[in-house]
Homo-oligomer: A and B are copies of this chain.
């Protein structure tokens, strides 16, 4: 394996191709005949990239076989990205540039990470345990409170649970989880599964090894967990403040239901993509908050998308240190190397450029508003899967734009960019220094 940075996109593309072929089979589609190529490609990409944006209604368009293929794809996709991101650091330790630093950081922050095999084993174990617990709760609830037969309860419970753990956002319900908006026993386990998995593998491992020793945690875990808590609280309060009186969302609900659904929609934009409220009815200021939460996403080396919490926190820390006239960005008593600062900046700028280009194209070729299109592109890039409802109305070119966004957003702007630039000649000398006036 000479160049693992290139291998990962290839593996993802191969999985998407396989998924597309399976979804093209007539037995995958509920109606007569096979699905059109674009529908199969879009759905397969969305599943492998664990995004959850859909151009057709999952439960009515696809057969049980088709839904099984989708479930298989997002389980493979979620497992793949979590192990790949973690292993990249171990395998690519000898090369130059970004990859090198990425590797070094993972090694530094996870000193006891062991070898590749133990990573795979551990990811598999966490996946199976969490998915089994959530499946059990949902299945029992659907059987006991909703009178599903056992088979149907198990299938729906399993699909929702696997989708939640892999942050996939696909659902066997046409209205996602809006039918369960009063049911904390359905929504809570899904929220918890999403929060755990969105932390990313290194943090999950840390939490498993020393859950109550915050002081001993790596800087990466401290930032990710603290950032997660702050973003969840801010999202929850912001959601309630903005939607409290909206007659289409929280307005008609009782106090407890308001709090539950606001909490659910504070967790979901941070990459999971289920919805218990109608996103298309959200107020503009709610969407603004959602743009930011989606763009930030979750923890590194997990199924979460976005630029990642550490990237966002580090950018803020740089600005704070700069405004204070301090030399280093300091977080939890540790300074961060300037190379890592530049890496964070690069991730954010490349993400913004990609979203801006995609948004411009969609604005030009569709009649939809900036509000809806920006929501769609950020959701696709950050592999969130929430939508104001325009996905199915996009023309073919628009669907292709979203497909590219989902793929690049998942496999990673940096991975792609590094892969492109690998092998570029390195300059052994430095140019003389001269500085422009800035700002």
Whether A27 sits at the interface, judged by CB under 8 Å, is no
Of A100, A283, A307, A346, which is in contact with the most chain B CB atoms at under 10 Å from its CB?
Answer: A346
Nearest opposing residue in chain B for A241, CB measure: B364
Nearest opposing residue in chain B for A432, CB measure: B334
Q: How far is the CB of A437 from chain B (nearest CB, A)?
A: 4
Q: How far is the CB of A323 from chain B (nearest CB, A)?
A: 4
Asked if residues B105 and A435 are in contact (CB atoms below 8 Å), the reply is yes
CB-contact partner of A323 in B417, B427, B439, under 8 A: B417
CB-contact partner of A438 in B285, B325, B340, B430, under 8 A: B340
Whether A178 sits at the interface, judged by CB under 8 Å, is no
Within residues 396 to 436 of chain A, which ones have a CB less than 8 A from any CB in chain B?
412-414, 417-418, 420-422, 424, 426-427, 430-436
Q: How far is the CB of A237 from chain B (nearest CB, A)?
A: 14
Nearest opposing residue in chain B for A289, CB measure: B360
A104 to B426, CA, bound (A): 31
In the complex, the count of this chain's copies comes to 2
Point out the residues of chain B lying under 8 angstroms from A202, CB to CB.
Answer: 437
Asked if residues B285 and A434 are in contact (CB atoms below 8 Å), the reply is no
Nearest opposing residue in chain B for A344, CB measure: B438
A364 to B98, CA, bound (A): 41
Nearest opposing residue in chain B for A431, CB measure: B335
Whether A229 sits at the interface, judged by CB under 8 Å, is no
Asked if residues A325 and B288 are in contact (CB atoms below 8 Å), the reply is no
Question: What 1/0 flags go to A215-257 for Cβ under 8 Å of B?
Answer: 0001110011000000000000000001000000000000000
Asked if residues A436 and B330 are in contact (CB atoms below 8 Å), the reply is no
Question: What 1/0 flags go to A350-383 for Cβ under 8 Å of B?
Answer: 1000001001100110000111001000000000
- Given known A324-B424, A325-B421, A349-B319, contact A435–B340 (CB-CB < 8 A): yes
Asked if residues B364 and A284 are in contact (CB atoms below 8 Å), the reply is yes
Point out the residues of chain B lying under 8 angstroms from A224, CB to CB.
Answer: 436
- Given known A327-B430, A370-B284, A431-B334, contact A439–B364 (CB-CB < 8 A): no
Question: What are 6 inter-chain pairs, A to B, with CB distance below 8 A?
Answer: A285-B364, A300-B436, A323-B346, A323-B418, A328-B431, A334-B432
Lowest 10 CB-CB distances: which A-B pairs, in order? Answer: A97-B325, A347-B439, A310-B436, A334-B434, A284-B363, A300-B437, A220-B436, A322-B346, A285-B364, A219-B434
